Structure 1
Amino acid sequence: MMRWIIFIIIYILFSVYGFQAIKTITKLSWVHYLFIAIAVVVAGNFVYQFSIGSEGRVLNPAKSYAFGFLLAFMSLNVVMVPILIGEDLIRLFLGLYDRLFATRETFYMPSRRKFISTIAFGLAAIPFASLLYGMYKGKYRFRVLNYVLHFEDLPDTFDGYKITQISDIHSGSFDNRKKIEYGVNLIKKQKSDVILFTGDMVNNKSSEMLPWTNLFSQLKAKDGVFSVLGNHDYGDYIDWTTPEAKAQNLADLVQLQKKMGYDVLLNESRFIERNGQRIAIMGVENWGKGGFKKAGDLQKAKADVNPDDFKILMTHDPSHWEAEVVNDDYHYHLTLSGHTHGMQFGIEIPGWIKWSPVKWRYKQWAGIYEQLGQYINVNRGFGYLGYPGRVGIWPEITVITLKKGSNNA
Structure 2
Amino acid sequence: MRNFYEIESKFFINIANYMNNWENYLGIFDNNTEKKALTQRIASHVQTLWNQFNQDRSKLDKHYMNTGDGFQAYIASFLLPNIERVFSTLVRDENIFAIESLFLVEKDELVITDFGCGPLSGTIGILSVLEYIFSINHKLILPKKIHINAIDRSDKIVDFGKKLLTKSLFESVVVSVEHITSPEKVTKNSDVILGINVFNEIPLKHRAKTLNSLYSKLNNGGLLLVMEPGQEEHAKSLGTLRNEFISANNDGQIISPCAHRKNCPLSTETTRKDWCWFRHSWNTPKTIALIDKFSKLDHHELNFSYLFVQKNSVQSAETFFARSISDEFPIEIKAKSPQIEYFKNNLVSGEKEEFLKMVEYEGGLNKILLCTKEGELESAFVIADPTQKPYRRGRRVKLDSELYMRAKERN
**TM class by shorter-chain length?**
under 0.3
TM-score normalised to the size of structure 2?
Answer: 0.28
| Higher RCO by CA contacts (8 Å cutoff, separation 6 or greater) | 1
Greater percentage in helix:
1
Greater percentage in strand:
2
